[in-house]
Structure 1
Amino acid sequence: MPERKRQPDEHRYTITEVARLTGLRAHTLRWYEEMGLVTDVCRGPGGRRSYEASHLRWLDFLAKVRETGMTVADLTRYVELVRAGEESVAERLALLEAHRCRLDDQAARLERCLRHVDDRLASYRREEPRLALSLKRTSGRSSHRVPPAPSTGRPAAAPVPACA
């Protein structure tokens, strides 16, 4: 996180408040600090962490890139580049562009899978009246029931084909 001067009247946040506001667990916040991903966290009475609004913005960024699948190694590299200053902007840009490309590929794969699911849903919806009638005629027959899974007693999940 870039260094900056703290304003004397700036609101401070406890680790509990930061966890609630960012959606990150307190354990993760401590780990990010230990890893050097978050710096300049002041300590209050009893050594309690005290965060600033700038920490919240930075943690929001970290959480979002982690949620999109950026590796801790890439995230660590990005943080090192931020700390290196202006001369690292091109490298930061390249790292984020590479991550964006991976996200584009993932989004395209998910879009293809979503189309498969939508096609299956449309098929079921077209067949719904016929299936409802068929189920009504065969109610009570065990051949239409999914057997329970051995350990849970719940119905076993049907195998799902991989989407291409």
Structure 2
Amino acid sequence: MSASGSELLTPAETVERSGFSLDTLRYYERIGLLDRVRRGRTGQRQFGRNDLARLAMLRSLRDTGMPIAGMLRFAELTRGGEATVAERLAVLEEHDALVEEQLAHLRRQQQHIRAKIGHFRAALSDAPAPTAP
């Protein structure tokens, strides 16, 4: 089944496509990160294209270190529609700046690691060759 158009995904298909566990999907719905998910005749959750788009954004925010509180703020602003575009932009720009700081920090740490790798490689190349027993 495809999430395009009006077709809906089962929870298992949504787990596969989003990379989130079923428990996480339930949690996100319970705390308000996801809008109330529609249910089929049997009561099973059904996820649509908008749900997958929201989950993709939440994945990006979570994977870049945004706390749940920030994600909730963004989700609430999203529900506000066009009137909140400027606020959503500000939230994302602020988060992007934090991500950039984290990346710069990681780059500095990586330089330190690479210097140590160079040190060890030089030590190995300067070491005398082992003699045969």
Shift of 1:42: 1.4
Q: One-letter code of the match for 2:60?
A: K
Identity value in percent: 34
Give the alignment of 1:83-122 within 5 angstroms.
83-122=79-118
In structure 2, the CA distance between the partners of 1:48 and 1:126, relative to structure 1 (3 Å rule), is same
Structure (1 or 2) with the greater helix fraction = 2
Partners in 2 of 1:54 and 1:60 — Cα distance? 10
Q: Which residue of 118, 122, 125 maps to 1:129?
A: 125
Alignment partner of 1:14 is 2:13: no
Partner amino acid for 2:86?
A
Task: Give me the TM-score of the superposition, normalised by structure 1.
Answer: 0.72
Q: CA RMSD in A?
A: 1.9
SS of residue in 2 equivalent to 1:47: coil
Q: Paired residue for 1:56?
A: 52
SS at match of 1:45: coil
CA distance in 2, matches of 1:20, 1:57: 14
For the residues of structure 1 that align with 2:31 and 2:128, how far apart are their CA atoms?
A: 57
Larger radius of gyration, structure 1 or 2?
1
CA shift in 2, pair 1:113/1:12, >3 Å: same
Paired residues, number: 128
- For 2:13, the aligned partner's letter is E
The amino acid across from 1:115 in the alignment is: Q
Q: Tell me what 1:147 maps to.
A: none
AA at the equivalent of 1:81: L
Distance 1:62 1:120 in 2: 37
Aligned mates of 1:120, 1:93 — CA distance in 2: 40
Give the drift of 1:53: 1.9
Q: Is 1:74 equivalent to 2:70 in the alignment?
A: yes
Moved over 6 A (4+): none
Residue 131 of structure 1 deviates from its aligned partner by 4.3
Residue matched to 2:33: 37
Change (3 A) 1:131 1:20: farther
In the alignment, residue 120 of structure 1 is paired with which amino acid? Answer: K
Q: 1:39 is aligned with what amino acid?
A: D
